[in-house]
Amino acid sequence: MKIFRIILIAFLAGIVSLGNAQDLIKANELAKLLRKPDVVIISARKATDYKKVHIPNAINVPHTELYKEGPIKSILKPANEIAAILSAKGVSSDKQIIVYDEGSGKYAGRLYWIFKHMGAEKVKMLDGNMKAWKAARKPITGAPTKVAKATFSAKPNAAILADMAEAKKAAQGGSYVLLDVRKPDEFAGTAETKLRKGHIPGAKNLDFNQLLDSKGLLKSANQLKSLFASKGITPDKTIVLYCETSTRAGMVYLALSSILNYTKVKVYDGAYYEWQANAANEVKG
């Protein structure tokens, strides 16, 4: 009976471990995949940072290259344009895609959500990103990776994208939660910013940095569940995420949708930039 109990506990622990690693990959695991032909590793860092040092065989896709030009930052280009950019950079939609950044997780998280929105089925983020990779003493290089053109077939998933109209609806509460993932001082309007101070009325605040532990790794599923629940963020709600440009919203999307398996999670792509621009126009009108 005692042996049976031990086996059962080990089995359940394994389930929890797997559940907390769905779209995350550890440095040790990624190190074994560096030369796999069905894996594409993507650095979301700036081109200048990529040239200095990156993970071997990684290609560079700065998230800013996927945005429209205009006064509102980080609005995604049309799906066909993004697909063309990714294809030219050697990203195939049917391969295992693994994204990472310098360590903050916000740029990798942004790419993670963009790939999910574009319909890529196999996407993971390096847990702890470049910070964890270096801490694990894994190989790095400054040599650019040779890129062979690939085919990225875009199948946009509108179900995880919110527009301004839905953000307004979410702000009213009910079956929705509008979640601002910026720092508390940004939310409160006390931070120095070129944007209008404050937040979208009706939004709740949870700094995306609270999802990470002291090493920059994503917290456990149980810790994340408690953290979100403390803000009234539960799986029965439709959760709309935003920040200044919705860059930081990507990691929160991963935590909710992949680690906790919440099924009704969206990102307001226009974010606070679009909201405050619209508010300014209403005042002028």
pLDDT for the residue numbered 283? 34
Q: What is the pTM (predicted TM-score) of this model?
A: 0.90
Percent helix, strand, coil in the chain, to 5, is 40, 15, 45
Does 21-156 match 159-284 in CATH topology?
A: yes
Torsion of CA 38, 130, 253, 171, to 10 degrees: -150
Angle at 209 between CA 116 and CA 248, to 5 degrees: 35
Provide CATH code, domain 21-156. Answer: 3.40.250.10
Q: What is the pLDDT along the chain (285 residues), one digit of tens a residue?
A: 555 453 444 444 443 333 345 899 999 999 999 999 999 999 999 999 999 999 999 999 999 999 999 888 889 999 999 999 999 999 999 999 999 999 999 999 999 999 999 999 999 999 999 999 999 999 999 999 999 999 999 999 999 999 999 999 999 999 999 999 999 999 999 988 777 789 999 999 999 999 999 999 999 999 999 999 999 999 999 999 999 999 999 999 999 999 999 999 999 999 999 999 887 454 333
pLDDT for the residue numbered 3? 52
Domain ranges across the chain? 21-156, 159-284
Scored b (16 or more CB within 10 A) or e, 108-131 reads: bbbbbbbbbbbebeebbbbbbbbb
Measured from the Cβ of residue 74, the count of other Cβ atoms closer than 10 Å reads: 20
Distances (CA, A) of 145 to 41, 101, 124, 125, 235: 10, 16, 20, 19, 41
Handedness of CA 132, 38, 145, 32 (dihedral sign): positive
CATH 1.10.10.10 fits 159-284, yes or no: no
pLDDT for the residue numbered 11? 42
